Amino acid sequence: MRVSDEIHHGKVAVITGGGRGFGKAFGTALAARGAHVVLADIDGHAAASAATEIVAKGGSASAAACDVADEAVVAAVFGEVAEEHGGIDILVNNAGLHSAAYNKPSAEIGIAGLRRLFDVNVMGVYICSLAARPAMSGRPGAAVVNISSSAAYGNRAAYGVSKLAVRGATAQLAREFAADGIRVNAIAPGLIFTDTIRAELPKDEAARVMSQQILSREGEERDIVDALLYLVSPASSFVTGETLRVTGGFALSV
């Protein structure tokens, strides 16, 4: 059996930023393999319509309006999920701010923008992980997967610094959560052509990034979904604290 065919029947997965892009693709893939998925997104309408699509395909899904930077809302959402489903097996900390607005010089982003970037991309990982931990503790195969970025290895802008912090948080939380049998890993995607990226990224910037890949094809959502399926499966049961780059070899260094 391939890792991507692993069955997650009876498992409960919470996916932040689950309303579109990677989050929706993760939810679709885990639901297709039997998990109940909770799509938690600041855009409650996007989350609800993504959940409806998954249910229409025969999956089990629900939606929650949730800002990952809002501790009280996160506590309420995760508490409800734990109560209704008896626990949480998989947490995907995927919600993130990554538009061109956060790939500018710090002075242009401004203090309020920088604060919001780190609140969502970094504090959101801590807030959701700590909220989920009691409900994940001792569940066989419990796994947290954080979404970092290839930008964490280049650091041209504050966005990359926030994603470098996600790599650090991954190693730290892996150490702390191991006592509860929870593995914590991250994926650092390169340029992946989601709807948002197609709509927002200038063509010359996309070409610049692709020229630094070793593999010349476009990165697709399924590349990141396959990495997620590996990191939540028993095939990675001896892997924790790692960040897996899925970039087509973008700006590879040793």
Span from 79-87, 95-103, 137-145, 172-180 in contact with ligand NAD (CB under 6 A):
95-103
Q: Does 245 bind ligand NAD (CB under 6 A)?
A: no
Size, binding site for ligand NAD by CB under 6 A: 29
- Contact between 240 and 180 under an 8 Å Cβ cutoff? The reply is no
With respect to ligand NAD, which residue has the nearer C-beta, 7 or 100?
100
CA distances for 56 relative to 33, 39, 52, 123, angstroms? 15, 15, 6, 34
Q: Does 67 bind ligand NAD (CB under 6 A)?
A: yes
Integer Cα distance of 22 and 125 in angstroms: 16
Q: Does 43 bind ligand NAD (CB under 6 A)?
A: yes
Q: Does 223 bind ligand NAD (CB under 6 A)?
A: no
Place of tokens 């930077």: 69
- Contact between 55 and 111 under an 8 Å Cβ cutoff? The reply is no
Span from 2-10, 60-68, 132-140, 235-243 in contact with ligand NAD (CB under 6 A):
60-68
Q: Does 248 bind ligand NAD (CB under 6 A)?
A: no
Neighbour order of strands in the sheet with 243-246: 60-65, 36-41, 12-16, 90-93, 143-147, 183-189, 243-246
Q: Which of 216, 231, 218, 223 is nearest to 174 (CA)?
A: 231
With respect to ligand NAD, which residue has the nearer C-beta, 68 or 182?
68
The yes-or-no answer on residue 159 being catalytic is yes
Q: Which of 199, 203, 116, 125 is nearest to 159 (CA)?
A: 116
Q: How far is the CB of 162 from ligand NAD (least distance, A)?
A: 8
Span from 66-74, 82-90, 132-140, 175-183 in contact with ligand NAD (CB under 6 A):
66-74
Both tokens of 78, joined, read 């995760």
Q: Does 189 bind ligand NAD (CB under 6 A)?
A: yes
Contact map string, positions 96 to 115, toward ligand NAD, x by CB under 6 A: xxx-----------------
Neighbours of 117 (CB within 10 A): 21
Residue 80 — φ and ψ, nearest 5°?
Answer: -65, -40
Q: Does 194 bind ligand NAD (CB under 6 A)?
A: yes
Q: Which of 99, 78, 73, 100 is nearest to 90 (CA)?
A: 78
With respect to ligand NAD, which residue has the nearer C-beta, 16 or 129?
16
Residues making contact with ligand NAD (CB under 6 A):
16-17, 19-23, 41-43, 46, 66-69, 94-98, 120, 147, 149, 189, 191-192, 194, 196-197
